[in-house]
Structure 1
Amino acid sequence: MSDFPGAPSAPRDGRRLRVLAAMSGGVDSAVAAARAVEAGHDVTGVHLALSANPQSFRTGARGCCTIEDSRDARRAADVIGIPFYCWDLAERFREDVVEDFVAEYEAGRTPNPCLRCNEKIKFAALLDKALALGFDAVCTGHYATVVVNEDGTRELHRASDMAKDQSYVLGVLDERQLAHAMFPLGDTVTTKDEIRAEAERRGLAVAKKPDSHDICFIADGDTQGFLAKRLGKAEGDIVDEAGNRLGTHEGAYGFTIGQRKGLRIGHPAPDGKPRYVLDISPVTNTVTVGPAEALDVTALTAIKPRWCGVAPEGPGTYTAQLRAHGGETEVTAELVGEELRVRFTEPVRGVAPGQAIVLYDGTRVVGSATIAATERVRTGAAAQ
């Protein structure tokens, strides 16, 4: 009997698996690796070196990918009693995540680098290398659940604890990747405080380490400053819906749809209400602002769909999540050619091209796609 409530009690499918545990240096991945060992699997820990110059990435609580994190991961592996390696994936990370992030902002879109990292690094580059070395599965500290059906197929579901659910950033995983994914934290109703307490009982020094947050590869958390260094300053106009010039900016890439703060418009709107970013045009380097109601989105088109299983056929009713920490909203969706057409039951706000939309059927993740365009109640403010 395990001394740790919620820890798995037997190997998945009754088999002892060779598991590669991705250890970021944080508490979640450390406990996930320990639970995989306790479940009877043959576990090896690996820390991904994602920066060519780790000192340029964040330290302490500000993020991951630091020398400190690799040392924390190694110490955790020593306590757990598993082999540990550090793999250099910095070049792959730079190309597939960092450069993609910059290119998306330059094109006026708002990307989510965590989804791209899960898709391209943790469950592509890492998984491919793991399988080539004879491992059966990759284990991470994500809060999500893989359900194995009677026919052997697998489904991705939300974590039991909705407050910690991370299935949104895993919505890019396809059926093959799910077949080799293990999330030991997702199928138990376990709070973060309980995970920390479990880590402390296991003797893991990361038990009290603060969570990382924001974007791991932006050293000081200043996204606009990071982009300015990469793309350079490019002064342009801030205009209203009628095209009237209200102010200037130093780069359209520094704005996101729905943004309210930091517009630096010198005078208030005629009605005295706040204004929000409605559209970003990289071609003209123009940012359009307007009232909150102009942000109401009724439908969208998304591209590059990825399905956690078989692609759905015909129109269907689902719930959708539009950001990592957002709620669900009811939609109808249909795959038309290579495009996903989505219509919302009620208008939603804060929807920007470049974001991911993840569809759910109950707790099951159906799949995800990248938002390409939106339709709004006020068509004059429609995103391009």
Structure 2
Amino acid sequence: MKVLAAMSGGVDSAVAAARAVEAGHDVVGVHLALSRMPGTLRTGSRGCCTIEDSMDAQRAANIIGIPYYVWDFSERFKLDVVDDFIAEYSAGRTPNPCMRCNERIKFAALLEKALDLGFDAVCTGHYAAIVTDEDGNRELHRASAWAKDQSYVLGVLTAEQLAHAMFPLGATPSKAEVRAEAAARGLSVANKPDSHDICFIPDGDTRGWLAERVGTATGDIVDREGNRLGTHEGAHAYTVGQRKGLNVGYPSPDGRPRFVLEVRPKENTVVVGPREALDIAEIAGSRYTWAGMAPADPTTPFACEVQIRAHADPVPAVASVTGGELVIRPDVPLNGVAPGQTAVVYVGTRVLGQTTIDRTVSAVPV
């Protein structure tokens, strides 16, 4: 097959590209220039699209012996990921930019261009597995080592995208083994730190970054009954489950800490309350997709597991499509779930689908 290897400049994508070559594929490496500031250098282990990363990817491609190109996707990245991130926060939701990047950049824009150029598949260094069922349908599954499993952030992939996806690291037992393999291959990225956090906010100060772009506006912090407890400088700076930096002038009657329960951007109001009020009995979203074949009748409730963060434990649940929404009811309440987050649904190790959470139902009503 003719394979386009997406090379971030990290060790995982480099080893994935090398394995694709060893498997006999005709491989071309490509680095996506996503930053609108191409001179930016990596700070610590943050980020994944700096000029330094591009050079690391080129060095790896040279050693592997494959052609290498840099494609400028910065404008698409700004529109589909960065601007979406700002809009979601401004609407009081908690977005996951890595999900959007995988959905709209790596497996939409990149795959579309790859297919137009005659490639058969896009190869990445994600830790996930693709399994073909007895009818020839491709399914997305967890990686063999759950500690490094990245199937959650790939839950947005559709059946068509899975048909052209390749994850050579899916069966690798550990990241240490990948690093050892990279070192044996002479790849200089063997000991390069993993990227983390949000790549376009290199200093990790999400609140400050948003304030520069959205601005600040004084608003009220209230309890669940609407009583004013304090003020804030912008509702966009708060997320559900947050405890620190609430600026509440006096303690709760029972002395227990308060947490952000809800963000109301239209009113510029932040609602706070006790930890137990964060327990969620139901989540639902209308923007849902299936990773491969959909259930035969998704309107009939089915048993599954739901995961709401990349590193969260899956929770047993019952799901169904009702009234145009994928509605998920966990067997035990989920804690601190916010609209805008992504709920990924599993059946065993298989990723069945996902939805962006539009609404939640508290297990502790007012």
TM-score normalised according to structure 1 size:
0.93
- The answer on 1:255 being equivalent to 2:241 is no
Q: Map residues 206-285 of structure 1 onto 2, 5 A cutoff.
A: 206-285=189-268
Indicate how the Cα distance of structure 1 residues 337 and 241 shifts in structure 2: closer, same or farther if over 3 A, else same: closer
Amino acid paired to 1:236? G
Q: Map residues 137-176 of structure 1 onto 2, 5 A cutoff.
A: 137-176=121-160
2:336 to 350, 354, 367: 350
Amino acid paired to 1:238? I
- The answer on 1:131 being equivalent to 2:115 is yes
Whole-angstrom CA distance in 2 between matches of 1:175 and 1:336? 22
- Residue 120 of structure 1 aligns with which residue? 104
Whole-angstrom CA distance in 1 between matches of 2:245 and 2:337? 19
Amino acid paired to 1:66? T
- Once the two structures are TM-superposed, the CA of residue 324 in structure 1 deviates from its matched residue by 0.7
Residues 21, 138 of structure 1: 8 Å contact kept:
yes
- Residue 378 of structure 1 aligns with which residue? 364
- Residue 47 of structure 1 aligns with which residue? 31
Amino acid paired to 1:318? C
- Once the two structures are TM-superposed, the CA of residue 57 in structure 1 deviates from its matched residue by 7.0
- Residue 301 of structure 2 aligns with which residue? 315
Amino acid paired to 1:261? K
Q: Name the SS of the counterpart of 1:331 in structure 2.
A: strand
Residues 47, 73 of structure 1: 8 Å contact kept:
yes
2:354 to 368, 377, 380: 368
Q: Name the SS of the counterpart of 1:300 in structure 2.
A: strand
Q: Once structures 1 and 2 are overlaid, which stretch shifts more, 54-63 or 262-271?
A: 54-63
- Residue 59 of structure 2 aligns with which residue? 75
Amino acid paired to 2:176? D
- Once the two structures are TM-superposed, the CA of residue 40 in structure 1 deviates from its matched residue by 1.0
Amino acid paired to 1:326? A
Per-residue CA deviations over 1:247-275 (Å, capped at 9, x if unaligned) read 11111011111111121222221211111
Per-residue CA deviations over 1:23-61 (Å, capped at 9, x if unaligned) read 000011011111111111111100000012134574341
Amino acid paired to 2:356? T
Whole-angstrom CA distance in 1 between matches of 2:258 and 2:52? 42
Whole-angstrom CA distance in 2 between matches of 1:222 and 1:65? 18
Unaligned runs of at least 5 residues, structure 2? none
Indicate how the Cα distance of structure 1 residues 55 and 240 shifts in structure 2: closer, same or farther if over 3 A, else same: farther
Q: Name the SS of the counterpart of 1:311 in structure 2.
A: coil
Per-residue CA deviations over 1:42-84 (Å, capped at 9, x if unaligned) read 1110000001213457434111110000000000000111000
Whole-angstrom CA distance in 2 between matches of 1:329 and 1:159? 18
Per-residue CA deviations over 1:187-235 (Å, capped at 9, x if unaligned) read 232x111111111111000011111100001121110111111100111
Identical columns (%): 66
- Residue 106 of structure 1 aligns with which residue? 90
Residues 41, 51 of structure 2: 8 Å contact kept:
no
Q: Name the SS of the counterpart of 2:80 in structure 1.
A: helix
- Residue 9 of structure 1 aligns with which residue? none
- Residue 64 of structure 1 aligns with which residue? 48
- Once the two structures are TM-superposed, the CA of residue 151 in structure 1 deviates from its matched residue by 2.5
Superposition RMSD in Å = 1.1
Whole-angstrom CA distance in 1 between matches of 2:185 and 2:254? 59
Q: Name the SS of the counterpart of 1:187 in structure 2.
A: coil
Residues 57, 216 of structure 1: 8 Å contact kept:
no
1:339 to 322, 325, 329: 325
Residues 146, 156 of structure 1: 8 Å contact kept:
yes
Q: Once structures 1 and 2 are overlaid, which stretch shifts more, 227-236 or 259-268?
A: 259-268
- Residue 11 of structure 1 aligns with which residue? none
Whole-angstrom CA distance in 1 between matches of 2:222 and 2:85? 26
Whole-angstrom CA distance in 2 between matches of 1:52 and 1:351? 32
Per-residue CA deviations over 1:154-193 (Å, capped at 9, x if unaligned) read 000000000000000000000000000000001232x111
Indicate how the Cα distance of structure 1 residues 58 and 262 shifts in structure 2: closer, same or farther if over 3 A, else same: farther
Indicate how the Cα distance of structure 1 residues 60 and 83 shifts in structure 2: closer, same or farther if over 3 A, else same: farther
- Residue 195 of structure 1 aligns with which residue? 178
Whole-angstrom CA distance in 2 between matches of 1:33 and 1:111? 30
Amino acid paired to 1:311? A
Aligned length: 363
Whole-angstrom CA distance in 1 between matches of 2:90 and 2:84? 10
